[in-house]
Amino acid sequence: MASSTENTLPYLTEDRADPVRSGGLVLPERYDDLGPLGKGGMGEVRRVRDRLLDRTIALKVLRLERAVDPAVDLRFRDEARLTARLQHPGIVPVYDLGNLPDGRTYYTMKEVEGRSLRDCLSEGPASGWTLRRLVDALARTCEAVAFAHAHGVLHLDLKPDNILIGSFGEVMVVDWGLAQRLGDARAQHLAGTPPFMAPERLAGAPDGPWTDVYALGAVLYCILAGVAPYYGHATWLVLELARQLPPTDVRAAAKAQHRPEPPDELASLVDRAMARDLEDRPANAARMGVELEAWLDGLRRKDRALECVGRAAEQARIASKLRVEADQLQQQAQALLKPVPSWAPAEAKIAGWAREDRASERRRAADLAEVAQVQELHAALSLVPDLADALDGLAAYDRAQLERAEATRSPDAVRWEALLRAHDRGQHARFLQGDGAVTLLTDPPGARVDLFRYVLRDRRLVPEPHGTLGITPLRAATLPRGSWLLEVHGPDRPPLRYPIFLGRQDHWDGIRPGETEPRPLRLPRRAELREDCPVPSGWFFAGGDPESNLSAPRRRLWLDGFFIRRFPVTNGEYRAFLDALVAAGREEEALACAPRERSARPGTVGPLIYGRDALGRFILQPDGEGDIWHDDDPVVMITWSGARAYAAWRAARDGLD
């Protein structure tokens, strides 16, 4: 048994490539000696030229000091014969077996130009030896070992040193010096490399395929952790530990070596292959190879899936570019068509129509690009059903469609929300929950805010009680999305009804356009109200009715607070306003605001509806058809400017702002 020494991977069982002198070595006439390749505990290997077949091969011969032992010689011949029986691409072929003129046994075999798996592990990923390449090499090692098992041969010394990777990527399992036939009745030889020896072998139990499976698991341990099992211990301690305890968990070992966390499938395979209980290990080397190939196949499928995701991203970029171009063309079309009257001849509209047609073409192309985008993402999921990149891409697409559908109040919103919930991995959870927030300050503060939610009952939206939001000032108080009625109860103030609408993740803050802080909502005193109703300031949506062909585009607008009469303004009240203007010396303004009959000729004013008395006061008089007006009738036939002037006069008179 060889001893353990410190190295990049802390085990070594052979002197590595020390030059050996050929003094006194006489080869058969068929071979020319080309120099040493290396030596081990039992033999040395030299490069030779086969004169008969004109090729360079390797010749292994017993060392002089070992050749005198008949048992060693017999074991050396068994190694040659066992290896020769295993004609597999992953096992070095044996060409010849014989004796040198000095009587020592030799055999020749193919020379493998390359490096051992141990060398590859030492070089690391920077030299191109990625986890995938290393696992692929181990998978092919499993195939060679499985072939040997199928032919009744155990290797019994599997380790990274004995796995060679050729210059062209071929993988060879070498050094079958400890190999045994299954069921060999000869005494068990306790030989090998301690970190890779199965615990039952150390305990003297019979060897079997499970013994090599343990060693293959230990090789995988090296690949994942960067160190061998039981790293850092002397040989005698390794033997004792291996008999009694499993090695450090491969995940912890990798972390201690500052290596990436091993994939779960491979870490689990290490645990099972190196299990103390033989029943827990993979059934054989072939089964272990199948599991490694399955992991590699998963990587290959993931690569193809990521290619699909890349193509989907490119289609998304194309679609976005096309939609920007379509919007620009549409704006150009509107600029060209806006000054053209609807009755103008077609020739005046052709340039605008052409841009509209090009905008439509861009939108159709964008739609097709989005279809291709979604198809590629679904193709990725067909390869890797839980691929995060594909799910995230679909979720982002679904969210964009959902936002568009909700903005236009399309019934498709239900479908897009269901798709988003199916594809979301958590990034859109807050968006899907949809909670908004309310900031509300009042003057005076300390008002209680009761909640009423608008719900559809008998095709009407009615407010239903929903608890209390809190006491003002309220800052970013959480509230589910939807239509709400806030009933604000201030100290010694009548309740103020404050309707709001919260979209997904909206923040209703009451900040007026051009300002950065919310203004307090003034709660009027009871004496201020009389017959008036306060309408608080805030945002509202106008337009965007999908069922109306004449609807304006949907816009979010700000409304300053105001008071509105519970009942219409009467003739008596409006005459009092006009008389007040006259008394204040604002005769012309009073005449401009007075109600008039419609003029028959455009650009002229019609006759006054009200009459005037001797003192210049406005009075009621029969209209042109003889109908009599009354003071408690609603005032009619006034202009927009007249209505605004009355509202300003009334607010000033009653002290309302």
DSSP string, 320-334: HHHHHHHHHHHHHHH
For 289-304, the pLDDT digits (tens) are: 999 999 999 999 999 9
> Are the CB atoms for 28 and 67 separated by under 8 Å?
no
Token pair in block for residue 633 = 């009738």
pLDDT in the model for residue 654: 79
Q: Which of 157, 207, 212, 398 is catalytic?
A: 157
Whole-number Å distance between alpha carbons of 435 and 438: 10
Q: Where are the alpha helices (DSSP H) in 203-249?
A: 209-225, 235-244
Whole-number Å distance between alpha carbons of 604 and 258: 91
Token pair in block for residue 199 = 């615990």
Residues of the chain where predicted confidence (pLDDT) is lower than 50: 1-23, 187
**What is the full DSSP assignment across 496-508?**
EEEEEEE-TT-EE
Whole-number Å distance between alpha carbons of 58 and 135: 28
**Beta-carbon count within 10 A of 581 CB:** 21
Whole-number Å distance between alpha carbons of 115 and 111: 12
pLDDT in the model for residue 241: 63
pLDDT in the model for residue 394: 97
pLDDT in the model for residue 622: 82
| Helix, strand, coil share of the chain (percent; to 5) | 40, 20, 40
Q: What values do phi and psi take at 140, rounded to 5?
A: -70, -30
Supply the pTM of this predicted model. 0.69
Degrees (nearest 5) of the Cα angle 412, 418, 423?
125
pLDDT in the model for residue 16: 35
Active-site residue, 631 included: no
pLDDT in the model for residue 167: 84
> Are the CB atoms for 87 and 93 separated by under 8 Å?
yes
| Placement of tokens 């002089």 in the chain | 64
For 442-487, the pLDDT digits (tens) are: 999 999 999 999 999 998 999 999 999 999 999 999 999 999 999 9
CA distances from 649 to 346, 617, 656 (A): 52, 17, 10
Whole-number Å distance between alpha carbons of 473 and 100: 102
